[in-house]
């Protein structure tokens, strides 16, 4: 049985390839062999891999979250 959150490290260990190869394959980088890309994407789909949004936002320095400031939010005309 798989743990709740599948990581690229889990996929790399299963396929006996590096974590960076898994990452490149999932991003569709051209230097990855098509057979490797196919194996990575098939396993990721089978294991229901979802990228970790927190890790992604740390790498990109962007959370894609906006803040809204509302003055007198409790005032209804």
4-26, pLDDT tens digit by residue? 789 999 999 999 999 999 999 99
Q: Are 11 and 43 in contact, with CB atoms under 8 Å apart? A: yes
Structural domain harbouring 44: 1-77
pTM of the model: 0.69
Q: Residue 17: what pLDDT?
A: 97
Number of domains observed in the structure of the chain: 1
The CATH number linked to 39 is 1.10.260.40
Q: Residue 77: what pLDDT?
A: 63
In a 13 Å sphere around the CA of 64, the CA atoms on its Cβ side amount to 7
Is residue 2's pLDDT more than 60?
A: no
Integer-rounded Cα Rg, in Å, for the chain is 19
């Amino acid at each position: 049985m798989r743990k709740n959150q599948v990581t690229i490290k889990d996929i790399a260990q299963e396929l006996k390839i590096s974590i960076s190869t898994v990452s490149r394959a999932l991003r569709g980088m051209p230097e990855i062999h098509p057979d490797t890309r196919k194996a990575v994407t098939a396993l990721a789909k089978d294991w229901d891999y979802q990228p970790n949004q927190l890790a992604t936002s740390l790498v990109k320095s962007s959370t894609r979250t906006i803040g809204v400031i509302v003055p007198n939010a409790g005032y209804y005309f």
